[in-house]
Amino acid sequence: MKITILGAFTDGLVESFGSDKVILNVAKKVKNPDTEIDYKNLGKGLTHVDDGDYYAFHLFCETTMLMGMYEEQEKGADALIMGCFYDPSLLASRGIVKIPVIGGGEAAMHLACSMGEKFAIVVPNYECQHIQLRNALTYGLRDRMIDNRPIRAITRMDWSAVDPSKIIDSFKDTVRSCADDGAEVIVLGCWAWVPVLTANGIYDVDGIPLVDPCIASVKYAELFGSLKVAGIPWISRKSMYKTPPKDIADKYFSQFK
C-alpha cells in the first residue's frame, strides 16, 4: 500500500527545521511492513506555520489543499493524508477524490474517543483553538471533550529555535491541567511541532495517553486504503460525499491553474 502525506506549506518551510523528516520517522514507526509512505508539500499555501491562525489564510490553505488532493489522486497513492491538524477542505476533498482522504485532526479525535471517555486537545498557541473547536463540533465530538476549556495552549515560544525540553515541559504542565478537569486522553493539536514529543519517546504523561495525529492518520489511511483495495465500501457516495462527473470537476479545477 502507498500513502502520501500532503503538507499545507510552501516548499522548504518545514524542511528548514526538519519537521518533514520527523513526521516520516514517526509514520514509519507505526506503518505496516508493506506500506510505503511519502511526504510532499503542496508547494504553495502557508508560508509560515503560524499563518493558519489567521482565518483568511486558513481558507487559502483549504483551497490549495483541495486542489492538491485532486491532482495527487492520479499519482498512484492508495490513500491521502492531510498533513495539517486543521483538516483543511477535508469534507470537500472526500467528495471530489476517488481514494480515501484522511484528516489528522478527525482521525486523532476519533481514536481518542476509543481510548477514553473524555479527551482534550493541546495546541502550540491560543489562536489555534477556534478552528479546531469548530472541527470538533462538525465531527460531532464536542460532548466527548472535557467541559472546561477543552482546547489549551502551551506557553508561546519559537519552537523552531528553543531547546525541545522547554516545549516538552510546558506541554506536560498543560496536559496535567487538562487531566485535573477530567481529560483521560490528550490529542496533540498540530502536525508541524508535536512529532517532537513522539520522536523523543513521549507517548503519555502520568499515564494519560497522547494521540499523535500523524500516527492516527497513518493507521486510518491503512484501514480505509485496505478496504478500498479489497473492494469493500469505505465511504458513502449517497449524499454528503457524492462525486461529480470527472469532466465537470476538471472544468472547475482548471480555473485555478
Does residue 153 sit in helix, strand or coil?
strand
DSSP H or E stretch at residue 91: helix 90-96
Q: Residue 143: is its pLDDT beyond 70?
A: yes
Per-residue model confidence (pLDDT) at position 166 = 84
Cα–Cα distance, 186 to 215 (Å, whole number): 14
Q: Residue 12: is its pLDDT beyond 70?
A: no
Confidence band for 204, pLDDT divided at 50, 70 and 90: very high
Cell triple for 101: 482522504
- Cα separation values, 68 from 10, 126, 230, 252, Å: 12, 28, 26, 14
Q: Residue 195: is its pLDDT beyond 70?
A: no
Cα–Cα distance, 3 to 223 (Å, whole number): 11
Cα–Cα distance, 122 to 174 (Å, whole number): 7
Chain center to CA of 58: 14
Per-residue model confidence (pLDDT) at position 71 = 92
Q: Residue 62: is its pLDDT beyond 70?
A: yes
Nearest 5 degrees, angle CA 68-CA 52-CA 46? 50
Start and end residues for every CATH 3.40.50.12500 domain found in the chain: 2-104+215-256, 106-213
Cα–Cα distance, 170 to 43 (Å, whole number): 32
Question: Edge-to-edge, what's the strand order for the sheet holding 79-83?
Answer: 36-46, 2-9, 79-83, 101-103
Average pLDDT, the chain: 89
Per-residue model confidence (pLDDT) at position 15 = 58
Entry pTM: 0.92
For the chain, the helix, strand and coil percentages under 3-state DSSP, each to the nearest 5: 45, 20, 35
pLDDT digits (tens, 9 = 90+) for 113-137: 999 999 999 998 888 788 899 999 9
More confident residue, 23 or 140: 140
The yes or no reply on domain 106-213 and CATH 3.40.50.800 is no
- Give the CATH fold of the 2-104+215-256 domain: Rossmann fold (3.40.50)
Cβ-based neighbours of 161, under 8 Å, separated by 6 or more? none
Side-chain-side CA neighbours of 118 within 13 Å: the count stands at 14
Q: Residue 175: is its pLDDT beyond 70?
A: yes
More confident residue, 97 or 22: 97
Confidence band for 4, pLDDT divided at 50, 70 and 90: very high
More confident residue, 21 or 63: 63
Side-chain-side CA neighbours of 80 within 13 Å: the count stands at 31
For the residues 205-219, what does the mean pLDDT come to?
A: 95
For the residues 94-106, what does the mean pLDDT come to?
A: 96
Per-residue model confidence (pLDDT) at position 149 = 95
Give me the percent of the chain exceeding a pLDDT of 90: 62
Confidence band for 159, pLDDT divided at 50, 70 and 90: low
Q: Residue 47: is its pLDDT beyond 90?
A: no
Q: Residue 90: is its pLDDT beyond 60?
A: yes
Torsion sign, CA atoms 157, 57, 17, 152: positive
Cα–Cα distance, 100 to 223 (Å, whole number): 10
